[in-house]
Structure 1
Amino acid sequence: MLQNMREKLSGPVSIAVLGLIAVAFIFWGIDFGFFNRDFVAKVNGEEIPNSRFSAAYQNQLGELQRYYRDELTPELRSEVRQNTLDGFIRNTVLEQRSRDDGYRVSDTALTEYIRSLPAFQVGGQFSMDAYKATLASNSYSPTRFEEEQRRALAQEQLRQGIISSGFTTTAETRRFVELLEEQRDVAYAIVPADGFRDQVEVSEEEVTAYYDENKDRFMTAESVTLQYVEVNADEVAAAVEVTEDDLLAYYETVKARYSTPERRRPRHILIEFGDDESAAEQRASEIAARAQSGEDFAELAQEYSEDPATSDLGGDLDWLERGVFEGPLEDAIFEMQEGEIRGPVRSDFGFHVLRLDQIEESTGRSFADAREELETEYRTLQSEAAYYERAETLAEKSFESPDELDTVAAALGTAVKQIEGFTRAGGGELAAFPTVAEAAFSTPVLEDNENSPLVELSERRAVVLRVADHRLPEQRSIDEVRAEIESSLALSLARERASEAGQTLLAQVRDGGVFADLAAAAGADYQESRAVGRRDSALPAELLAEIFRAAKPGTAPTVAGIELASGDYAIFEISAVRPGDPEGGPRERRLQERDALAQMSGDGSFAAYVTELRRKASVQVFEIEDEQL
């Protein structure tokens, strides 16, 4: 019982659930909501709203823009769109199944989870004001947000139930360890491409031919002159005034956070309902009478309690605050006196016989003691409230004056800023924010000359922007790109030379030559033979992978080569292979490896389960053009 309760209250929230929450509660995203249909798909009759899909899709594009600094290709956009939709469909079928199977999340568990989210904390503590303000600024009601989180956590219960069923046999674990910790004695040499750069010459004819054949690669980037109006919480914070009366009033509203709640340490003996609830209650009454007559409570718990998590501990439930249990069980624990024995008390788990061992009274901090923290919190909240108000004004004024920003800036008492030469990869002080590029090059802003919607750069910074000038790509002259072409061709030729030299060295070693001597003669960087593991960080990752893909040596060493992404050529010689020792090493590490393999088994089971749910589901997908997103 206690084990299940604790898992619900504090079990790990997986990446899958975080991903679902990110879809359900997106703080950064642009709503380009010009849609012909309110939903993008139906899953077993349940609609996936177009607005949620669009926000998630734009958010994913923004993340990719951080890595693809150039324009995202149509193919990549299509892949992102499909992956986003697939994610929604998977989450929907899982949510439906968790609902049908009766998975539920208690109010207590939901509250504890929400209180743990950093977005709603000030100074490391949950703030109801921050909670309400953050939800309001993102057009979320507490009811809607809490229901979405409840569904996500219920889905996580389903996932954990399947994953926890994963297991591994002893033979599988041994084989896993043998492979994971396998070591290979390897000598290797790298022929560097840079060593041939000075040996190659690029002619004018080669430069001209390359330019003529690749003119589309030598275009200027499409760019715009970007105008924008910004609101920033840090600038607002400097203007916040705080009086002593303000702090005293705030202290009264949050006083509970500056006190330690009463804690109690009970023991219990659980008798589950079984097939005969009356008999279970009678048995609990008899045990309670024995405890009240003086028998050792801990010994009775060890003998009779049906809670496996606490019976061996003499029924000890550890220190508890209000809110862990519900109903009569919690009421009884917090009504009892130290040393009192009470029971039977009914709960959803069965009948409890209780003994209260200790009480730790509530303690609190005075206003004077907490004043510095209070002022920091209060200033933060006030500046955030002022920021949200200014952000709302920015959005409203921009909507009212959709074709200029001067009026918008005047309403906020600020100035219109400008960035020239802003490309799809960004530019200027907004270069680090891919959502800005998405907005700037969207159809309404770029082609219709409208102001953008509010673009949130962070939780404390937002802009509205427009395009003042648009420059299409232009052909760069051969003189502008000559050095770039010469460098590219020289590198290509150097790579070819390195590959030729590397393959020659490879053939010589395979013919029986002394590896070290041949490598030195070829100008290669030679490394003497040593034991190499799968996680050896000293070797290039692609070389390490090739070493462990290579066949084991027989009567002669295994010799092979690989052209690296850098253009270098690597040759390696494997002289011996030793499997990992399943019996060696610390026992704790062996248990971790066993658990890792079981986790992999569970993950595989869950993936197969989701695939089957998706296969059986009735799914209708409605095509939406990229421009509509």
Structure 2
Amino acid sequence: MLSLLRGFARSKVAMIIIGLLVVGLAAYALPNVFSGGQPRGMISAGDRFVVKGALDQRIDNYIQASFTQNQQRISRQDVAQSGVAEQIIQYVAGETAQLAYADEERIKATRFAVSNFVASAPRFRDPITGEFSAETYRSEVLRQSRSIEDFEKELRDSLTTDYVKGAVIAGADVPDALSKAWALGQSEERFISYVNVPNSVADEIEPPTEVELVSFYDERKQMFEKPQRRAVSILSISADDFVDDAKVSEEDIRAFYDFRIKDYSSPETRIVMQLSSTDRSVAQRAADEIGVGGDPKMVAAGIEGLSIRERTVQPDDIANQQYADVLFALPEGEVFGPMQVDDQWVTAKIVDITPGIPQPFESVSEEISQLLAQEAAQDIYEASLENFFDLIGGGFSLEEAGEQIGAPVMHFQPVDRTGRTAQGRQLGAFMARQGAMTIINNLAFEGETSDVLDDPADGGMMVYRLDYIEPANIPEFADIRDSVEAAYMVMKKNEAVETIAAAIIQSARESGDLDAAAAEQKLTVVDPGQALTRRQLPEGISRSVYMTTFNAAQDQFIEANEQDGSRTIVHVKKISTATPENLAIMAPAGKRVLQDPLFSDMENAFYGSVYEDIDLQFNSQQISEYLKAMAGVE
């Protein structure tokens, strides 16, 4: 459950619920929720304060949103143990500071603005008529265990913070100079020719003598240093570890199959008598008459401006998803409407329902068995987590904890700070776990373990242990002679390539002719045959040549260092830009491209100033007790 919750906490839906998409609070250096201060309530700023009930409501909203997305219940304890509760408190604190600022500036959403928002919100509309429904509004708010008054107060606060945000960037515009500079760069075309000096020109390097090698080693000992390496072990626990322990009976599989039979059947088919008109009142009259027993065909014949059509449909045949949802949710004989579908008002009667044809139980039983085993394994995993935390926190070794919970400890070869072994391999176990090397490198002494962490590799929990450290050292010459010789030859080849490249550049600069300079070294110049632009890297042009081209002036000869150690001499023959008329046409596009980062910087600066000026206070003791009680910590 915790892994599911943490996954949801990182989802876009949850970020909207928590409010992390509204303001990146971490960027504004909000005070730590456990710092001092004795505010009114748990959090306060200006005349605003937050009490326990308000935080409870935010937590409950998050839990409901999680259920809506994942169809699995999570508890308040899960929310606290995963760290999401503290994120929500941080958001509420930021929101409180913003509202306190709005109060000081006398910024407040009007009751009309609240009413207008409610009346236009899709979730408060009648699903049949598409119009605002006071009953739907009341039911939706009460379903969230909130009063209308509290809901509208929170909505007013939300609109107020939107006003503040809008005021920050209102009237802001990207300066013409910036948009013109963008347009100039985007329109620029550069025509080049180039010659590559390959490593093969240095194939005839004489091998070094032993004296030269020893001297090379002595002068460059640091380049042969072996870095410190750390050997670690990982104990990871996830639902996958318990799949073999999950017991799924034939009765369980059959019961699931019977309960979810629609999921294992072909789509059901419905015969629908559909009456439609461009006039809502006409469709309403049809619905009224059919609803009291009228025959749809006779009703259609007696009402002007009403068309009728008998349709045999499956869910995928209905283009309008809202219409399809209603159509396939009602029982046989039911009448509904009028409902707006595109430019028509539709009334319909469900005439007949033909269920889909189920797949044979035998053909899907294995699939169901695996699904139920995964669900059972998830339950076993969640039940094992408390024991896992107790074992790790109780001082048991990873091996002892692993034996108790039935999960093996993974041991790894020593790796350097980048995760490479002495053979230069990067271990997949560390690559699959984002931030693994940061955690490993922060372990200070042999035997130290990390905190219990999320395991990004399988969605479970994990602990790192530092087993031992291999100190950095410089091997003796005799032990790495072959490596020293290889490094010596690479150096000499680079020097040879660089010497030829320098000769070509000097000759080209003196003569102004790259072709002749390249021919002196028996090399050939390449002309791409197309202009280079900042919009796209052309095929066949290396990134180093591309970047060098746009760092050079017209008629300049410049050297680019390639990834394989070769050198490329580039001649920028011509630079052309768009006409003033075309630049003026392109400038508005530049404004659009530059607008978002500009507005983001303005908002960051503004909110940073607000959080510095507003006296935001936390009751650290109450918050700590609140989180501990929610997490079930004594």
Task: State TM-score, norm by structure 1.
Answer: 0.54
1:616 counterpart letter in structure 2: S
Tell me the distance in 2 between the aligned counterparts of 1:44 and 1:225.
Answer: 37
1:499 counterpart residue number: 498
Deviations 1:253-302 (A, max 9, x none): 76797898999999999xxxxxxxxxxxxxx99xx99xx999989xxxxx
2:514 counterpart residue number: 515
> Is 2:180 aligned against 1:180?
no
Deviations 1:462-495 (A, max 9, x none): 5444344443223311223443344334434433
1:190 counterpart letter in structure 2: N
Tell me the distance in 2 between the aligned counterparts of 1:436 and 1:202.
Answer: 42
> Is 2:473 aligned against 1:474?
yes
Aligned to 2:530, the other structure's residue is in SS state strand
Tell me the distance in 1 between the aligned counterparts of 2:276 and 2:176.
Answer: 38
**Counterpart pick for 2:557 among 556, 560, 569:** 560
Tell me the distance in 1 between the aligned counterparts of 2:83 and 2:349.
Answer: 38
Kindly indicate whether the alpha-carbon contact (under 8 Å) linking 1:398 and 1:451 is maintained by their aligned counterparts in 2: no
1:139 counterpart letter in structure 2: Q
Kindly indicate whether the alpha-carbon contact (under 8 Å) linking 1:248 and 1:367 is maintained by their aligned counterparts in 2: no
Distance 1:437 1:579, change over 3 A: closer
Deviation at 1:594, TM superposition (A): 8.9
Residue identity (%): 13
Deviation at 1:112, TM superposition (A): 8.4
Higher mean alpha-carbon deviation, 417-426 vs 135-144, is at 135-144
Kindly indicate whether the alpha-carbon contact (under 8 Å) linking 1:543 and 1:570 is maintained by their aligned counterparts in 2: yes
Tell me the distance in 1 between the aligned counterparts of 2:611 and 2:174.
Answer: 34
2:569 counterpart residue number: 571
Aligned to 1:190, the other structure's residue is in SS state strand
1:198 counterpart residue number: 204
Tell me the distance in 1 between the aligned counterparts of 2:479 and 2:185.
Answer: 53
1:399 counterpart letter in structure 2: G
Tell me the distance in 2 between the aligned counterparts of 1:601 and 1:502.
Answer: 40
Kindly indicate whether the alpha-carbon contact (under 8 Å) linking 1:261 and 1:321 is maintained by their aligned counterparts in 2: no
Distance 1:374 1:225, change over 3 A: same
Tell me the distance in 1 between the aligned counterparts of 2:183 and 2:173.
Answer: 15
Deviation at 1:531, TM superposition (A): 0.8
Structure 2: gaps (5+ residues): 1-9, 36-48, 50-57, 96-157, 289-301, 307-318, 327-333, 422-426, 617-634
Tell me the distance in 2 between the aligned counterparts of 1:257 and 1:47.
Answer: 48
Kindly indicate whether the alpha-carbon contact (under 8 Å) linking 2:448 and 2:466 is maintained by their aligned counterparts in 1: yes
Deviations 1:330-383 (A, max 9, x none): xxxxxx956x5599xxxxxxxxx9943567899778585776654443233223
Distance 1:378 1:367, change over 3 A: farther
> Is 2:41 aligned against 1:47?
no
Tell me the distance in 2 between the aligned counterparts of 1:113 and 1:363.
Answer: 32
1:383 counterpart residue number: 377
Deviation at 1:530, TM superposition (A): 1.0
Larger Rg: 2
Kindly indicate whether the alpha-carbon contact (under 8 Å) linking 1:230 and 1:462 is maintained by their aligned counterparts in 2: yes
> Is 2:392 aligned against 1:401?
no
Deviation at 1:189, TM superposition (A): 0.6
Tell me the distance in 2 between the aligned counterparts of 1:135 and 1:363.
Answer: 42
Aligned to 2:248, the other structure's residue is in SS state coil
Kindly indicate whether the alpha-carbon contact (under 8 Å) linking 1:562 and 1:571 is maintained by their aligned counterparts in 2: yes
> Is 2:604 aligned against 1:607?
no
Aligned to 2:490, the other structure's residue is in SS state helix
Deviation at 1:564, TM superposition (A): 1.1
Deviation at 1:527, TM superposition (A): 1.2
Tell me the distance in 2 between the aligned counterparts of 1:172 and 1:359.
Answer: 61
2:346 counterpart residue number: 356
Aligned to 1:198, the other structure's residue is in SS state coil
1:87 counterpart residue number: none
Tell me the distance in 1 between the aligned counterparts of 2:305 and 2:587.
Answer: 40
Distance 1:576 1:603, change over 3 A: same
Deviation at 1:460, TM superposition (A): 4.5
2:346 counterpart letter in structure 1: L
1:219 counterpart letter in structure 2: E
Kindly indicate whether the alpha-carbon contact (under 8 Å) linking 2:558 and 2:569 is maintained by their aligned counterparts in 1: yes
Aligned to 1:518, the other structure's residue is in SS state helix
Kindly indicate whether the alpha-carbon contact (under 8 Å) linking 2:508 and 2:557 is maintained by their aligned counterparts in 1: no
Deviations 1:19-45 (A, max 9, x none): 9689999xxxxxxxxxxxxxx989686
Deviation at 1:539, TM superposition (A): 0.9
Kindly indicate whether the alpha-carbon contact (under 8 Å) linking 2:236 and 2:460 is maintained by their aligned counterparts in 1: yes
Deviation at 1:18, TM superposition (A): 9.4
Matches within 5 A, 1:57-456: 120=70, 128-129=71-72, 132=74, 136=78, 139-140=81-82, 179-180=185-186, 182-196=188-202, 198-199=204-205, 202=208, 204=210, 207-231=213-237, 233-250=239-256, 318-320=320-322, 355-356=345-346, 374-390=368-384, 392-402=386-396, 404-413=397-406, 416-426=409-419, 430-432=429-431, 433=433, 435-443=435-443, 446-447=445-446, 449=448, 453-454=452-453, 456=455
Task: State TM-score, norm by structure 2.
Answer: 0.54
Aligned to 2:475, the other structure's residue is in SS state coil
Kindly indicate whether the alpha-carbon contact (under 8 Å) linking 1:503 and 1:561 is maintained by their aligned counterparts in 2: no
Aligned to 2:452, the other structure's residue is in SS state coil
Deviation at 1:561, TM superposition (A): 1.4
1:539 counterpart residue number: 541
Distance 1:238 1:182, change over 3 A: farther
Deviations 1:300-345 (A, max 9, x none): xxxxxxxxxxxxxxxxx95426999xxxxxxxxxxx956x5599xx
1:184 counterpart letter in structure 2: R
Kindly indicate whether the alpha-carbon contact (under 8 Å) linking 1:498 and 1:568 is maintained by their aligned counterparts in 2: yes
1:11 counterpart residue number: none
2:553 counterpart letter in structure 1: A
